[in-house]
Amino acid sequence: MDLKEVHSFILNFLLKKVDMNIIITKNSEETRSIASEMAKNILSVQSQDKLAVVIALEGVLGAGKTTFTQGFAEGLGLKDDVRSPTFVILKEYHMELSDKNLRFKNFYHIDCYRLKDEKDIKDIGLSEILKNPENIILIEWAGNIKKALPKNCIKIKFYYISENKRKISIQ
Ligand code: ADP
Ligand code: MG
């Protein structure tokens, strides 16, 4: 499977649950579990792709990007407490490998909120990270580094509806 197929695989998986690639969550726990399902789903696909899997998260402050990331990390089986790496921009986590997952070894959580100049992303070595097929990368405020994103990355947009309601759109 190439990345495009992985993408449609994830979408189909979600389609079974929600009819569309738009999901409304009624609380943060629902957002976490959607993310966790997606992570497990990605792990189960033994893609032969030569590049990292990249998920670009967009939406205003408080829309749920970090909450989603926490659920996603949980789905990957990571026990570390994932917080927004707002001050460090990038955080790397190593996954404990199981028989089910032969491909992925590292999870990267990147937050581009504080990135003023798109060129600064070079300093964190993103291009190298993107090349490694053993990596899964979630990027908050991905809109700040549009040019650096790979063409077929999975885009997830978060919309604030009301205090506990969010619309999550997967593209
Ligand atoms: P972001 O990273 O996009 O700035 P966060 O995930 O840090 O957003 O914050 C989202 C906040 O909204 C959290 O305090 C979370 O508990 C709350 N929240 C309420 N309802 C939801 C929901 N349905 N999905 C995600 N977060 C929610
Ligand atoms: Mg955040």
CA 135 to chain centre: 11
Mean pLDDT, range 108-126, rounded to an integer: 85
**Whether the predicted model's global pTM rises above the 0.85 cut:** yes
pLDDT tens digits along 136-168? 999 999 999 999 999 878 899 999 999 999 999
Cα separation, 19 vs 65, in Å, equals 22
Q: Which residue's CA is the closest to the ligand 1 atom numbered 9?
A: 62
Ligand 1 within 6 A of CB of 109: no
Residue 6 predicted with pLDDT over 70: no
Query: Which ligand places an atom closest to the C-alpha of 110?
Result: 2
Ligand 1 atom showing the smallest separation from residue 31 Cα? 24
- Calculate how far, in angstroms, residue 93's C-alpha sits from the geometric centre of ligand 1: 22
Query: Which amino acid is it at 99?
Result: D
User: Helix, strand or coil for residue 101?
Assistant: coil
Whether the per-residue pLDDT at 17 is higher than 60: the answer is: no
Place of tokens 């053993």: 134
Check pocket membership of 69 for ligand 1, CB cut-off 6 A: no
